[in-house]
């Protein structure tokens, strides 16, 4: 089938975008008119609401998902001489935060049909870690699905587990007995980190948040995100400096820097938006999941060279991305050509991600690695538009356009509506 752009209507559909309503705007405006723009009460309110919503004891808000990862490594004393295992199919920040802490990265392969690492990939990474002290592992819950952490339990000994859940706020992990645990509840990990970037499940504009059930870790994370400074009730042991010499009163301005920290704070303005967004999280997830299910119905009907992501067991996903796995070589079309033709129709797409181990910095540092699962996933993945304010008809338009560009027809010639319902 010949494709002609003039034969199809056009729209404006980015691959993802934030959804901001009047309630969000009013929440931010109220904070702008308040006495606190930063280091105020909205931060603690956001943290408490977030922790409650993921069934965690503590939440620590910070300036970005990258900052959250960096804080986690520093707060757990991961540094020079240590190594952290991460999957290669992730955003750069997952690896970069390890390097910023002074530790080394050991890249894990992933399943080519899901982009997720599993226990066998972990074993392979451990086997490649000769003479390297593996201190932590950071599985990535990609696209909205969960890594099966329970499969790692017998393999991990004295290795700290962190979860990178930037894509999976609102997802559930299912135990072998069928019990449901929210991603972020840290039932099998020391901590979980999320991103609240503009295109994530909820947004604070930029931002990140860490959840944990470890009180001491939570306290250290809060200290490190604000220059390493402690005040008032957190002091307790430097009375000689903290006393007014003349009147023997505690000095109300007094603070101490116990260790070298960072300015990784999130402001009250950002947190006001986050609080408002959290109220809509359930709807956002339900809408994303519904749209993604419609995509899946279409993708299953385009033949063997186009497929949706394989669903993983032991997970109730909260879809962040709708990924099509397309064998571009078999269809004799390049991914670049498909992306450009979709763009002409106003349809934005993206590739998540270039395997991190293939980036020049990491290739120069660790040499050329053969990770066939990550390479296979990367060669086929294409993220289609998915965000809560999309209309059902937008999915139909995207899939009709994609099919024509690929020169495919839906199997048995059933109509789009019938196939999707």
- Average pLDDT by stretches of 10, the chain with 421 residues: 52 94 98 97 98 98 98 98 97 98 98 97 93 93 96 83 98 90 97 98 98 98 96 58 58 84 98 98 98 98 97 96 98 98 98 98 97 98 98 97 97 53 47
Query: What integer pLDDT is reported at residue 152 of this predicted model?
Result: 83
Distance CA 310, CA 330 (A): 20
Query: What integer pLDDT is reported at residue 343 of this predicted model?
Result: 97
Out of 11, 123, 180, 200, pick the active-site residue.
200
Query: What integer pLDDT is reported at residue 387 of this predicted model?
Result: 97
Query: What integer pLDDT is reported at residue 396 of this predicted model?
Result: 97
Tell which CATH classification among 3.40.50.970, 3.30.420.40, 3.40.50.261, 3.90.1150.10 matches the domain 5-16+281-420. 3.90.1150.10
Nearest Cα to Cα of residue 209 among 71, 101, 411: 71
Can you say whether the dihedral through the CA atoms of 204, 206, 212, 216 is positive or negative?
negative
pTM here is 0.93
The ranges of the chain annotated as CATH 3.90.1150.10 are 5-16+281-420
Is residue 341 among the annotated active site residues? no
Query: What integer pLDDT is reported at residue 255 of this predicted model?
Result: 85
The ranges of the chain annotated as CATH 3.40.640.10 are 22-278
Which SS3 state, helix, strand or coil, does residue 228 take? coil
List pLDDT tens digits, range 144-181: 999 999 888 777 878 999 999 999 999 999 988 889 99
What is the DSSP pairing of strand 133-137 with strand 160-164? parallel
- Evaluate the omega torsion of the peptide bond into residue 138 and state whether it is cis, within 30 degrees of 0: no
Please list, in sequence order, all residues whose beta carbon lies within 8 angstroms of the beta carbon of residue 84, skipping any fewer than 6 positions away. 73, 78, 98, 103, 104, 105, 106, 134, 135, 136, 137, 138
Query: What integer pLDDT is reported at residue 246 of this predicted model?
Result: 60
**Angle at the Cα of 287 from the Cα atoms of 89 and 110, rounded to 5 degrees:** 15
What CATH number is given for 22-278 in this structure?
3.40.640.10
């Amino acid at each position: 089938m010949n494709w002609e752009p003039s034969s199809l209507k056009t729209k404006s559909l980015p691959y993802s975008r934030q959804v901001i309503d009047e309630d969000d705007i009013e929440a931010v405006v109220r904070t702008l008119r308040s006495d606190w723009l930063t280091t105020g009460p909205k931060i603690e309110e956001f943290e408490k609401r977030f922790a409650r919503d993921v069934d965690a004891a503590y939440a620590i808000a910070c300036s970005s998902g990258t900052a959250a990862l960096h804080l986690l490594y520093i707060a757990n004393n991961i540094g020079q001489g240590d190594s952290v295992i991460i999957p290669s199919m992730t955003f750069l920040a997952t690896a970069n935060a390890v390097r910023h802490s002074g530790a080394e990265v050991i890249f894990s392969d992933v399943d080519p049909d899901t982009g997720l690492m599993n226990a066998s990939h972990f074993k392979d990474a451990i086997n490649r870690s000769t003479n390297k002290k593996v201190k932590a592992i950071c599985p990535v819950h990609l696209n909205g699905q969960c890594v099966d952490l329970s499969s790692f339990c017998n393999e991990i000994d004295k290795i700290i587990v962190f979860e990178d859940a930037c894509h999976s706020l609102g997802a559930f992990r299912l135990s072998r007995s069928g019990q449901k645990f929210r991603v972020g509840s840290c039932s099998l990990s020391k901590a979980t980190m999320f991103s609240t970037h503009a295109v994530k499940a909820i947004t604070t504009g930029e931002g990140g948040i860490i959840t944990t059930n470890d009180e001491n870790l939570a306290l250290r994370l809060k200290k490190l995100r604000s220059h390493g400074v402690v005040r008032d009730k957190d002091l307790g042991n430097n009375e000689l400096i903290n006393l007014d010499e003349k009147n023997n009163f505690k000095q109300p301005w007094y603070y101490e820097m116990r260790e070298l920290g960072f300015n990784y704070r999130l402001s009250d303005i950002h947190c006001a938006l986050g609080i408002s967004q959290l109220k809509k999280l359930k709807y956002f997830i339900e809408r994303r999941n519904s749209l993604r299910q419609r995509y899946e119905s279409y993708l299953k009907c385009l033949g063997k060279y186009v497929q949706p992501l394989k669903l993983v067991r032991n997970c109730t996903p909260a879809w962040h991305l709708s990924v099509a796995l397309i064998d571009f070589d078999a269809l004799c079309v390049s991914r670049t050509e498909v992306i450009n033709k979709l763009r002409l129709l106003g349809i934005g797409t993206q590739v998540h991600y270039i395997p991190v181990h293939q980036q020049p910095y990491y290739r120069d540092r660790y040499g050329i690695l053969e990770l066939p699962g990550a390479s296979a996933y990367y060669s086929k993945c294409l993220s289609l538009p998915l965000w809560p304010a999309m209309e059902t008809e937008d999915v139909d338009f995207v899939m009709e356009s994609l099919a024509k560009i690929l020169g495919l027809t839906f199997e048995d010639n059933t109509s789009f509506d019938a196939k999707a319902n």
